[in-house]
Structure 1
Amino acid sequence: MTHTLSKPIRFKEGDGALHGFTTGRVKVKSKFRTAQGNAFTSKINFLLDRQFTEYMPIMVWVLDHPEGVFVVDTGENAKVSNQGYFKKEGPLANYINTKSFIFDVEPEEEIGPQLKRLGYSESSIKSVVLTHLHLDHFDGLHYFETTDIVINQLEWEKPSFALPSLYPEWFSPSTVQLKEASDRHFKHSLPLVASGEIKLVHTPGHTVGHCSVLVKTADMHYLLAGDITYNQHQLQNNIYAGGHQSFRLSGSTYQAVREYASKNKLVYLPSHDNQALDRIQNDTYLTTGLR
């Protein structure tokens, strides 16, 4: 698998780029990625599980659009493996996070150094967009103290398994309310650029306020999918993750993504899919039985 990829893309207003890179990698309990039981019992099952998955990437995305540069999620930082990293969250959260996940993150893999290598400074970023408030999606925030940070208001008000002691002290994001959309696939969304080519779309299930970023280009559509699923196979085969907050909402989101892909050439890009960057490189769009 390629660990960094930059792809030129064409927007209505001019040329742009989609960059993707891994901020380290993580192993999770096998039953955290693939649920055993219902939405409640699956949580017990993954806590009791002794098997881990293979290492999965912790992805960050950068969208360079004529209206500005957007960063989607901030990935992980190298301190996550330090002893006592989670202790401020209390005994239960400390136990779950130290026993259920194995992180491997080097300092040079953090989002700050990687953005610098791509030629971007903090001041050049228009907005950081968070798909949701799980650790491996916000834990690079300390690089963005002066940057506008956008998150769905519902996610901010009703997070699932958030770890606020790990937020930077200054963290006060711009919470946005999604609007009912004419798009029959994603019922609530918010354009992030005037052209509507980049949208924040509500994709609940992993958390109730979880969002993805939908990117429409002249040649292809891309869904920066956060943790809708951990890989494309789960989406295509209706497999839920033990870490999902609501299986019912996940099922509706899976259907919405598949239906959208039946009408558009959509490259599906979850944050922990080992094949995600290969799909961008090869323009491999999602195929479904609905096509």
Structure 2
Amino acid sequence: MITVTAIETGKARMKTAQRTGRDGRGGIGRKIDIFRDPDWVDPLPIFCFLIDHPEGRFLVDTGDTWRNSVPGYLPRWNPFFTKEVVIKVAPGEEIGPRLQALGLDPARDIAAVILTHFHHDHTGGLDHFPHNRIVASRESYDASRGFKGSLAGCLPQRWPIWLKPELVEMDGPAVGPFPGSHPITRDGRIFMVPTPGHANGHVSVVVRAEDVTYFLAGDATYDDANLRAEKADGVTFDPALSVRTLRAIKAFAAGEPTVVLPAHDPDGPRRLASKEAF
């Protein structure tokens, strides 16, 4: 039997212009809109997803870290980190303690950690997985390193020094509207698909359980409403590409009963518990 569990690792606050970009605005214009926006959305959860599969337990994303609260952890030269997003994670809310509360040793009981992308609120918990297989898109990893990555919402200078992820391409067969894929399990029931837009090389993780399919969307969309309305976020540098990704997710969900689970959607756990298909 295959199951998916949502694990919350703290809260994130963002501007309304980050959650939903303004129609007709390009990538740069959307960033300007975020800085000009006086309005904030209510704190949103930061979810990781634990997959129980006959071949092992797999974790999608690692959430963020309490160290965001430490002066100097976030680079002051990038005002987006310090002024446009607020991350609040207590030490006990990190993914390591959360897994331990479920009776799991994060360093030993997770077959693989799969990263949808390398933004800091998805990689902040990597320190808990020094002995684990870590799988990521090569394109995402390459785009997230160095100054360019830091400018785009990543913190490569804070990654563990031992981090050497297994970098993969979407070189597997097409799946529905997605031009490629990459298998995670031997039985092919967990696999990655390309969902670019929010970040270069962004991927989502598909889990085909016995009675329903789970689409772990990372930040391809922030919530169900934006997906339905095909509204790209304010982070994307290519709004048209983001919209194409949203349409691909909708087309996929139209082909099989699919529960879509973004990383910051407060309504996600309810849909997960009731197996509410998109």
SS at match of 2:100: helix
Q: State whether structure 2 residue 199 is matched by structure 1 residue 203.
A: no
Does residue 148 in structure 1 map to residue 140 in structure 2? no
Unaligned runs of 5+ in 2: none
Structure 1 residue 245 corresponds to structure 2 residue 237: yes
Range moving further from structure 2, 102-111 or 131-140: 102-111
* 1:183–1:173 distance in 2 versus 1, CA, 3 Å: same
Q: Indicate the residue corresponding to 1:108 in structure 2.
A: 92
What corresponds to 2:5 in structure 1?
19
| Length-normalised TM-score, structure 1 | 0.89
Which of 96, 105, 112 is the matching residue for 2:80?
Answer: 96
Q: CA deviation at 1:180?
A: 4.6
Match of 2:273 in 1: 281
Identify the match of residue 71 of structure 2 among 39, 64, 83: 83
Amino acid paired to 1:284: E
> Which position in structure 1 is the counterpart of 2:112?
127
Question: Which segments of 5 or more consecutive residues in structure 1 lack a partner in the other structure?
Answer: 1-14, 287-291
| Counterpart secondary structure, 1:70 | strand
- Contact 2:13 2:44 survives alignment (8 Å): yes
TM-score (norm. length: structure 2):
0.93
Counterparts of 1:136-285 in structure 2, within 5 Å, are 136-159=121-144, 161=152, 162-285=154-277
Deviations 1:69-105 (A, max 9, x none): 1110000111212222113xxx432x21010111221
| 2:21 maps to amino acid | A
Contact 1:205 1:249 in 2 (8 A): yes
Distance in structure 1 (CA, Å) of the matches to 2:70 and 2:233: 27
> Aligned partners of 1:208, 1:195: CA distance in 2, in Å?
28
2:19 to 27, 30, 33: 33
Identity over the aligned pairs, expressed in percent?
Answer: 34
1:63 matched to which residue of 2?
A: 51
Corresponding letter in the other structure for 2:190: I
The answer to whether the 8 A contact 1:71-1:125 is kept is: yes
Query: How far apart, CA to CA, are the structure 2 residues paired with 1:78 and 1:158?
Result: 25
The answer to whether the 8 Å contact 2:197/2:236 transfers is yes
Letter in 2 for 1:120: L
Q: Is the 8 A contact 2:192 2:205 kept in 1?
A: yes
Q: Secondary structure at the match of 2:277?
A: coil
- Which SS does the other structure have where 1:158 is aligned? helix
Give, in whole Å, the separation in 1 of the partners of 2:267 and 2:56: 28
State the AA in 2 paired with 1:137: H
RMSD, aligned CA:
1.2
- Residues 202 and 209 in structure 1, CA contact (< 8 A), matched pair in contact too: yes
> 2: CA distance between counterparts of 1:193 and 1:173?
17
